[in-house]
Amino acid sequence: MQLLTFSVAGQPYAIESRQVIEVLPLVPARPLPQAPDYLLGIFTYRGRLMPLVDLARRLGAPPPAARLSTRVIVVEIDAEPGTDRGCGTAPLRLGLVAENVVAVRSADEAGAMLPPLRLPGAEYLDRALRIGGETVQVIDVHKLLPAELTAGLAAAAAEVGS
Amino acid sequence: MMNDASQAAGIRRSIAGRLLFWFLVIALIPCAILTAITARIATSAFERAVRDTLVQTAAGKASELEAYAAERVRDGAALARGPSIVRAVRELAAAPPGRPAVAAEDQADYLAYAAKAFHYEQLLLIDSSGRVLFSLDPAIPVGTSLVAGPLADSELAIGFDRAKTLLQSDLGGFERYGSAPLPLAFVTCPVLDEGRLTGVLALGLDPQRIWQTLSDFSGLGETGEIVAAELDAEAVLVTTPLRHARDAAFRLRLPLTGREATAIQQAAEGTRGYGPLIDYRGVEGVGAWCYLPSFRWGLLVKQDAAEAYALVRFQRLAIIGLSLATILGVTLAALVVARTISSPIRTAMAVAGQVAGGDLRAAVDITTDDETGALLESIETMTRDLRGLIGRIQHSSVALMSTATAIQATASEQQQVINDYGASTSQAVAAVKQISVTSQELVRTMTEVNEMAGRTGAMAADSRADLSGMDTTMRTLAESTSSFGTKLAAISERAASINLAVTTITKVADQTNLLSINAAIEAEKAGEYGLGFLVVAREIRRLADQTAVASLDIERMVKEMQYAVSAGVMEMDKFSEQVRAGVREIGAVSGKLGEIIAAVEGISGRFGQVTEGMRAQSQGADQIREAMVRLAEGAHRTAGALHDFNAATVHLREAVGDLKEEVSRFTI
């Protein structure tokens, strides 16, 4: 299994690379009024407008420094997380801003150290793995955003898609 | 003063107390003994007088009543022997039985007359069988029998029996008969007709006469009275009206067991006596008692204790009052005498206290011409003399004080003048000394300056030669510095261009890294077909990382170089500026030195002349200073002498002040 690693507040995290569509350099986003602080705004990706989420702030850490290694990870998530509505569901694409996005690393699934945690308010925490002497927390992007926010964003995406 | 006062009080107490004590002892003890003896004698005399009065009164009354009773009996006996009575009995007894005997009118008149003449209230003629033949008072009707009927046990019946049996006249007891208001006692006399008893004459006595006798209270005072009583079964029956109970006769009974009946009971039982008693009212009294055999009565003559002993009580009160008055009088007399003696002594003490306290104005009031007067007079003389003496001392001390003050003021003034003079001289000496010292220093300094000027001239000439060489060297240095700075600037410029190149390399490395990540992601998505590509992507990423690291190193090195170069440029600029300034200053110094050398050479010659003049001046100043010092010493000695004089004056003044203070304690 391949994991795209990044860091939040100096700690290593990862996203399964099969959930990743592309990694982009940091792009400016247009802010949205009345949005939660981790929702940085919307940006243009290949001619489409997509929401941009700050992973660090979503995980409760200070905002990331503007470096070359601070990049945007484009992912695709289910409109309604936790339900399987088949191919009829319009997938939602998100840009996630993360620090130190410089490597894709292989991990053996049998080496999973900790099953997914079930912390209230932090359902996005998936397994924790051991890679090259480091403990890496895997993030489940489908559960990253609150359900209602996901639904709202998905509705807008569906309008655009039709 | 407090002490004096308490002492005075102590003395007064002592004199007054002792006088009082002895007065009382001398006056009161004999008086008290005499009074006690007199009181005892008088009391017993009073008591004996009371006793005699009571006993004599009792005896007198008893004999009077006995005489009265005997007279009545004698009269009755005489009457019974008279022929009229004998005849009347005979005629009345001859009347036929069953019909009441009626006396003839002349007989009844005679009998009534006889009764009245002999002071009898009732007259009865009784035949030998006990039948009443004649009655003066219808309370006992004619025909009544004495043997049977209601009168069978009466005193009259007893008297009738005794007369008939003993053939003697006798007086019976009092008893109330029928409805008569007063009780009667009957004198029963046998009536003999030719030696034979034919009847009995009964003459009734009422108690009025007896009461009259007993109501005479002469010699018994306000409360004295006479009580007569007879024994009656369980009680004593009073038979006379009493002074305090008019209707007590034959009504008042005193039980035998009571305290009130003790004296009268003894009297009624036939005892004679005298002593204290409790009367029927419960009042304490004293009385004498005796027996009346004719009436079988007890007679008690008594008086209330309060009255009987009134004189004794009065005497006791009088003695107490007199004693108190005597004590009071003696005390007062003692106090007056004590005061007379102690008052002048107190006055003398007060005056002495005032004198001791320093007040000599005390006036002595001499009121007596005895020893104490003489004492006060002496004290007054002493005080007066002392007053005069102290007054003269005060006057003298005041005069002395003013003289001392005047001397001191003059001396002080003189000392001040001398001091001022001394101070001025000292100042002058100090000034001259200063001048002398200054002159000497000046001479010395001038000598040194002269030498220094010579040396300076030589050194300045040497310096100017050195400075010329240094100037040339500095100029060369400035030129080299400028060219070095130019070269450093060129290096800095090159480093900047290197930096630009490094930035470009870094960006390329970054893009390469990004590309490798995306390639890896795509390879993952391609599944098994992408595995080879994944390896390629990883290699690309490694390359990019190495590039990035290398570029980072270059960048850091270039930055350090740039920093060093710019610091060097700055230092060079500063250095070259300093060099330039040094060159300028050296030029200026060189010029000045030239001027100095010329001037020093000119001055040096004149300094010698000045120094000579200064030396002469210094010697003159020294001579002046010595003269002034001698002058100052003279002034100082004078001032010292004056100071001693002044001190002596102050001592004098202090001594006079002490004397004045001592004297001023006295008030004249």
DSSP 8-state secondary structure symbol assigned to residue B289: E
Q: Please count the CA atoms within 13 angstroms of the CA of B570 that sit on its side-chain side.
A: 6
Does B252 reside within a domain? no
Helix (H) or strand (E) segment spanning residue B197: strand B196-205
DSSP 8-state secondary structure symbol assigned to residue A117: P
Query: Is A23 near chain B, with CB under 8 Å?
Result: yes
In chain B (668 residues long), the average pLDDT of successive 10-residue segments reads 50 68 82 88 89 90 90 88 85 71 77 86 86 83 81 85 87 82 88 86 86 83 86 84 83 82 84 87 88 87 86 88 87 82 80 80 74 82 85 83 82 78 76 78 78 74 74 76 76 80 84 88 84 84 82 81 81 81 80 77 70 76 77 77 81 82 74
Q: Which domain holds residue B425?
A: 382-663
DSSP 8-state secondary structure symbol assigned to residue B209: H
Minimum Cα–Cα distance from A25: chain B residue = B514
Report residue B269 as tokens. 């039982």
Q: Residue A119 phi/psi, 5° resolution?
A: -90, 135
Q: Inspect the interface and report whether the beta carbons of B506 and A68 lie closer than 8 Å.
A: yes
What pLDDT is stored for residue B99 in this prediction? 61
What pLDDT is stored for residue A88 in this prediction? 45
Residue B46 and residue B312 in contact, taking contact as beta carbons nearer than 8 Å = yes
Whole-number Å distance between alpha carbons of A38 and A46: 23
Q: Beta strands A134-139 and A11-16: pairing type?
A: parallel
User: Confidence band (pLDDT; 50, 70, 90) for A89?
Assistant: low
Residue B199 and residue B126 in contact, taking contact as beta carbons nearer than 8 Å = yes
pLDDT higher at A41 or A154: A41
Q: Where are the domains of chain A?
A: 2-161
What pLDDT is stored for residue B176 in this prediction? 82
Q: Inspect the interface and report whether the beta carbons of A104 and B520 lie closer than 8 Å.
A: yes
Cα angle for residues B26, B30, B35 (degrees, 5° grid): 140
User: Confidence band (pLDDT; 50, 70, 90) for A15?
Assistant: very high
Q: Pick from B205, B231, B249: which residue ends a domain?
A: B205
What pLDDT is stored for residue B184 in this prediction? 87
Residue A46 and residue A37 in contact, taking contact as beta carbons nearer than 8 Å = no
Sequence-distant (≥ 6) Cβ neighbours of residue B217 within 8 angstroms: B224, B225, B226, B243
Does B285 reside within a domain? no
Cα angle for residues B235, B236, B237 (degrees, 5° grid): 110
What pLDDT is stored for residue B452 in this prediction? 75
Reply yes or no on whether the pLDDT at A53 is more than 90.
yes
Does B593 reside within a domain? yes
Query: Is B12 near chain A, with CB under 8 Å?
Result: no
Burial (CB count <10 Å: 0-12, 13-18, 19+), residue B237: buried
Report residue B418 as tokens. 């001398």
Whole-number Å distance between alpha carbons of B146 and B150: 8
The ipTM of this complex is 0.80
Give the pTM. Answer: 0.43
State how far residue B506 is from chain A, nearest Cα, in angstroms.
Answer: 9
User: Confidence band (pLDDT; 50, 70, 90) for A54?
Assistant: very high
Helix axes of B531-664 and B371-525: crossing angle, nearest 10 degrees: 170
Specify the amino acid at residue B25.
V
What pLDDT is stored for residue A81 in this prediction? 47
Query: Is A68 near chain B, with CB under 8 Å?
Result: yes
Reply yes or no on whether the pLDDT at A82 is more than 80.
no
What pLDDT is stored for residue A41 in this prediction? 92
Q: Inspect the interface and report whether the beta carbons of A104 and B521 lie closer than 8 Å.
A: yes
Whole-number Å distance between alpha carbons of A136 and A14: 6
Reply yes or no on whether the pLDDT at A109 is more than 70.
no
Residue B133 and residue B125 in contact, taking contact as beta carbons nearer than 8 Å = yes
Report chain B residues whose CB lies below 8 A from the CB of A25: 510, 514
Does B515 reside within a domain? yes
User: DSSP of B259-282, one letter per residue?
Assistant: GGGHHHHHHHTT--EEEEEE-TTS
Any idea which fold A2-161 has? OB fold (Dihydrolipoamide Acetyltransferase, E2P) (2.40.50)
What pLDDT is stored for residue A73 in this prediction? 94
Helices and strands, counts by H and E, chain A: 2, 10
Measure CB to CB from residue B521 to each of A4, A71, A102 and give the nearest one. Answer: A4
Helix (H) or strand (E) segment spanning residue A21: strand A20-25
User: DSSP of B371-436, one letter per residue?
Assistant: HHHHHHHHHHHHHHHHHHHHHHHHHHHHHHHHHHHHHHHHHHHHHHHHHHHHHHHHHHHHHHHHHH
Q: Inspect the interface and report whether the beta carbons of B521 and A102 lie closer than 8 Å.
A: no
- Closest among B24, B81, B360 to B195, alpha carbons compared: B81
Specify the amino acid at residue A35.
A
Whole-number Å distance between alpha carbons of B204 and B185: 6
Report chain A residues whose CB lies below 8 A from the CB of B525: 18
Which of A3, A16, A68, A72 to substitute to test the interface with B, most B CBs within 10 Å? A68
Q: Inspect the interface and report whether the beta carbons of A2 and B524 lie closer than 8 Å.
A: yes
Residue B654 and residue B660 in contact, taking contact as beta carbons nearer than 8 Å = no
Query: Is B216 near chain A, with CB under 8 Å?
Result: no
Count CB pairs under 8 A between chains A and B.
Answer: 42
- Closest among A88, A80, A91 to A21, alpha carbons compared: A91
Distance separating the N- and C-terminal Cα atoms of chain A: 35
Strands of B225-232's sheet in order across: B253-255, B235-238, B225-232, B297-304, B284-292, B273-278
Q: How many domains does chain B have?
A: 2
Sign of the Cα pseudo-torsion (B590, B596, B601, B604, in order): negative
What pLDDT is stored for residue A112 in this prediction? 67
What integer is the mean pLDDT of A13-19? 90
CATH number for the domain spanning B125: value is 3.30.450.20
Beta-ladder partners of B238: B229
CATH number for the domain spanning B639: value is 1.10.287
Q: Residue B168 phi/psi, 5° resolution?
A: -125, 150
Q: Inspect the interface and report whether the beta carbons of A18 and B534 lie closer than 8 Å.
A: no
Query: Is A73 near chain B, with CB under 8 Å?
Result: no
Does B460 reside within a domain? yes
The contacts found for B640-648 with CB under 8 angstroms, 24 or more apart, are: B642/B411, B642/B414, B642/B415, B642/B418, B643/B415, B645/B411, B646/B408, B646/B411, B646/B412, B646/B415
Residue B253 and residue B235 in contact, taking contact as beta carbons nearer than 8 Å = yes
Residue B247 and residue B221 in contact, taking contact as beta carbons nearer than 8 Å = no
